[in-house]
A and B are shown apart, each in its own frame.
Chain A
Amino acid sequence: MTYEFKETLLYVENLSVAYDDTIIIKDINVIEKDVVRPNVDCTGQVIAFLGRSGRGKSTFFKALTGLIPSNTGKVLIRDFENSEPNAAKPVKEGDIGLVDQKYTLFRHKTVTEALKFSLRKTKLSESEKNEKIKQYLKEWGLDNCADKYPNELSGGQRQRTAIIEQLFSSDQFIVLDEPFSGLDVGNIQEVKKAFDLLGKSSEVNTVIFSTHDIELALELAQTIYVIGYPTIDGKLQSYGTIVAKYDLREMGLAWKDYCGDHLTLSKEIIHQMMIS
């Protein structure tokens, strides 16, 4: 499938985080560009991070979204308010949305109230906000949940609300920390549908997620990064970094149904995870 790279959307350089004297992640570098496919209206970017537990995926996500300060390095994202090509800005809290494993929402706000709150900093008028909320609730199958509180929603409904909320508030970047953990088959399908909707709703939408399900990562992502402990001079280190990167677009495996080639790559990824 033909595709073309446009401007850089996400630029992470030498990112390191340490708590006291313990290094959690070190020298993480990521560059993601807007990818465009001819004859396809919108192709959002989907990036997966794999790795064994305790390798620093969640810490990386927190540093990426500006929730925790990094010790070294920088995170830049495309500045959509600046019309100059490749204009970038350092990331700060709220620029990149984060949906955690528990799909946290405000417990005292209904779905509509929560979505309205996430739109409070936009320049939309009150009626435009209402219209946008209505449209998203319909598209994401939440129209009967408009007046429900989080404790009255199912896991899937909570997650979709959390995703829309972050999408409304952030600058078209969304990070999902293990969105598939603990979900049943039905809910996994719902999240996959949500990924599809995100990708189709804007060319520059960028979804970054972590998972332990390699098959799902191969099915959904265009780029896969493996975070693990690197081996330097024959010695396994105790901090997380990117140990492997797989560009599924270059490999001809992106936007395709799961096939034998995916399986081969899956074995390679498992090997990378096991040695790191």
Chain B
Amino acid sequence: MIKFLTPFEKISKTNRTLILTGWLVLLIAIWFIATSGEKHLFPSPSQVLTGFQELYKEGLVVHIFNSLKLCFISIFLATIISLVLAYSWPIPLLKSVSEFVTKFRFLPFTGLSFYITMVVHEARMMQVWILVIFLTTFLTTSLIAVIKDIPQEEFDHAKMLKCTRLEVLWQVIILGRIDYVIDVIRQNLAITWMMLVTVESIVVATGGLGFLIKNSDKFMNTGRIIALQIIILLIGLGLDAGINYLRKSIFRYSKI
């Protein structure tokens, strides 16, 4: 037991699983006990289960599909724009432009969405562009950080193999760090997922998980809200694991 409380102590995989299971059981037990009385702030497991059933009947799968579609379209567009900005960062003339875009991540969400609503009138497109603009700032920041972290030796090595400057960019940054792009997307997925639900609840368009939360919120249906939170968490974790698996299986050399 003392071993489990000693900092930096190495433990076996089985022990790690046991500890994790223990904490989960404890959490569920606290949930059951704390919500067993008549008055409770947090919904009971049975209320959450009812929430799940109601959500399923209201077309939860379609809403999940809508949210995922919005997520993928936004990530795809934002990644393309961010890559162009990040790959132009080593070019002196374009460096300031890329760095300027990264500073936009400090802008408030609501202010910018106001201007987007004036330009884009279709609700779904509005959601996409709000997400794309915000994601681009975060993705560009992370991608530039990846480029900055490349050791000078890698650039020198390419130059020593008679690479032109454009070849250095292609070999060292573009091809040499393609697996990092996937990892950057994975790391920023949490922000994407969080923003997506917020955007869906602000700009109510064609449903989605954010729309469902907003609706449940309106009627104080706490069981449904928690059920939705669990769904959102599980989808987020699933996407994270899926992308990580994809990176490792496509790029054998990738050990980030």
Interface residues of A (CB under 8 A from B): 62, 65, 67, 93-94, 97-98, 100, 102, 104-108, 117-118, 121, 149-152, 165-166, 169-170
Contacts of A166 in B (CB 8 A): 160-161
In the complex, residue of chain A having the shortest beta-carbon distance to the beta carbon of B153: A104
Count A-B contacts at CB 8 Å. 61
CA distance A118 to B158 in the complex (A): 10
Nearest-neighbour CB distance to chain B for A231, whole angstroms, equals 33
Q: CB-CB < 8 A to A108: which residues of B?
A: 175-176, 178-179, 251, 253
CA of A108 to CA of B253 in the docked complex: distance in angstroms?
A: 6
List residues of B (159-205) whose CB comes within 8 Å of A's CBs: 159-163, 171-172, 175-176, 178-179
Q: Does B157 contact A (CB under 8 A)?
A: yes
Are B253 and A170 in contact (CB-based, < 8 A)?
A: no
Judged by a CB distance under 8 angstroms, whether B54 is at the interface is no
Q: Which of A100, A149, A152, A170 contacts B157 (CB 8 A)?
A: A100
Task: Apart from A94-B163, A104-B157, list 9 A-B contacts with CB within 8 A.
Answer: A94-B161, A102-B151, A104-B151, A104-B154, A106-B157, A106-B171, A107-B176, A152-B253, A169-B162
Min Cβ gap A85→B in Å is 26
Query: Are B153 and A106 in touch, CB under 8 angstroms?
Result: no
> Contacts A100-B153, A107-B176, A108-B178; is A94 near B255 (CB within 8 Å)?
no
- Would you give 23 A-B contacts (Cβ < 8 Å), ordered by A? A67-B156, A67-B160, A93-B159, A94-B162, A97-B160, A98-B157, A100-B153, A102-B151, A104-B154, A104-B157, A105-B157, A106-B158, A106-B175, A107-B154, A107-B176, A108-B176, A108-B179, A117-B161, A117-B171, A118-B161, A151-B253, A166-B160, A170-B160
Measured CB to CB, the closest approach of chain B to A146, in angstroms, equals 14
* A-chain residues with CB within 8 Å of residue B175 when the two chains form the complex: 106, 108
Residues of B within 8 A of A100 (CB): 153, 156-157
Q: Among A97, A117, A121, A149, which residue has its beta carbon within 8 angstroms of that of B253? A: A149
Is B252 engaged at the interface, CB distance under 8 Å to the other chain?
yes
Closest CB in chain B relative to A7 CB, distance in Å: 24
Q: Which residues of A contact B160 (CB under 8 A)?
A: 65, 67, 93-94, 97-98, 166, 169-170
**Which A residues touch B252, using CB under 8 A?**
149, 152
With both chains docked as a complex, state the minimum distance between the C-beta of B28 and any C-beta of chain A, in angstroms.
41
Distance A106 CA – B159 CA, assembled complex (angstroms):
12
Please measure, in the bound complex, the distance between the C-alpha atom of A166 and the C-alpha atom of B156, giving whole angstroms: 12
Binding site for A on B (CB under 8 A): 151, 153-154, 156-163, 171-172, 175-176, 178-179, 251-253, 255
Chain A hits for B251, CB < 8 A: 108
Instruction: Find A98's partner among B156, B163, B253 (CB 8 Å cutoff).
Output: B156
Q: A170–B163 Cα gap in the complex (Å)?
A: 12
CA distance A166 to B251 in the complex (A): 25
CA distance A97 to B156 in the complex (A): 10
The smallest C-beta distance from B215 to any residue of chain A, in angstroms, reads 47
- Chain B residues with CB under 8 A of A105: 157
Shortest CB distance B146–A (Å):
13
Is A67 in contact with B162, judged by CB distance below 8 angstroms? no
Known: A108-B176, A108-B253. A121 touches B157 (CB 8 A): no
Q: Which residue of B lies closest to A168 (CB)?
A: B161
Could you say which residues of chain B place their CB within 8 Å of the CB of A170?
160
Chain A: minimal CB distance from B174 (Å): 10
- How far, in whole Å, are A102 and B255 apart by their CA atoms in the complex? 17
Select from chain B the residue with minimum beta-carbon distance to A169.
Answer: B161
Give the 9 A-B residue pairs with the shortest CB-CB distance, closest first: A94-B162, A149-B253, A104-B157, A104-B153, A169-B161, A93-B159, A98-B160, A100-B153, A118-B161
Taking CB atoms, residues of chain B closer than 8 Å to A94 are 159-163
Which B residue's beta carbon lies closest to that of A102?
A: B153
- The answer to whether B153 and A150 have CB atoms under 8 Å apart is no
Minimum Cβ distance to chain A for residue B71 (Å): 28
Q: Is the CB of A165 within 8 A of B161?
A: yes
Q: Is the CB of B157 within 8 A of A107?
A: no
B153: chain A residues within 8 A (beta carbon): 100, 102, 104
| Complex Cα gap A274–B156 (Å) | 31
Determine whether the beta carbon of A151 is less than 8 Å from that of B176: no
Which residues of B have CB within 8 Å of A67? 156, 159-160
Query: Please, which residue of chain B has its CB at the minimum distance from the CB of A62?
Result: B156
Measured between beta carbons, the chain A residues less than 8 angstroms from B179 are: 108
The interface residues of chain A lying within 8 Å CB-to-CB of B159 are: 67, 93-94
CB of A19 to closest CB in B, whole Å: 14
Complex: how many Å from CA A121 to CA B164? 12
